[in-house]
Amino acid sequence: MSSSDTLSFSCRCGSLTGHLDPGALRHGLRLTCHCNDCLAAERYHTRAQGRDEPARGVALYQTHPDFVHFDTGQEHLAVMRLGPNGLMRWYASCCGTPMCNTLAKPTLPFVGVCVNTLETPDALGREKAEGFLPPRTPGGQPRHRGAGRLVYGVFSRMITSLVTGRWRNTPFFDTGSRTPRAEPMVLSKSERAALYD
């Protein structure tokens, strides 16, 4: 992929489309998250659409929010939170496709793009980290692979965005009021509990 290329993405039905700037390929990290929250969020959408649930973790590409652009159907962009303090989990309301994850404020510039929405995910390169792998022994702690690289990448990109003012160029928030562009739907305790194994 040349530096002039962009990486297209879309929801399952094609109503919500967009692209990543070429810079995202140089400033990002591909990972799979196995945490209970990511798996619960995935179950929320797959059960609502009557689809098979994921056999393993959720594939994400973490990069700068200003590299993400929505081209068509932005009126379908919706956001769900598993709880009042949970990640902002952006999805396409037209077909329930999970699209991206962000933190709750634009001044915490972070985005994890769902890899399965990308037209050519191989352009991202190989997976470089995995989070919350099952413990090797019963009762043990979850394992992480490439955690140092993941944490360093998140914080270095956030600091760069804050110092340069790039955090203001986000498709997810109105940076004047610093409010999300869609009203977050927060799941109730019972709705949330039903999603966890």
pLDDT at 115 over 80: yes
Residue 136: per-residue pLDDT: 86
Overall average pLDDT of the 127-145 stretch:
91
Residue 54: per-residue pLDDT: 60
Q: What is the pLDDT of residues 163-192, one digit of tens each?
A: 999 999 999 999 899 999 999 999 999 999
Residue 50: per-residue pLDDT: 66
What the chain holds in terms of domains, given with CATH numbers, is 7-193 (2.170.150.70)
Overall average pLDDT of the 160-165 stretch:
96
pLDDT at 28 over 70: yes
pLDDT at 2 over 60: no
Overall average pLDDT of the 43-49 stretch:
82
Residue 101: per-residue pLDDT: 98
**pLDDT mean across residues, the chain:** 92
| Residue 67 · residue 118 · CB < 8 Å | no
Residue 3: per-residue pLDDT: 42
pTM passes above 0.85 = yes
Overall average pLDDT of the 38-52 stretch:
83
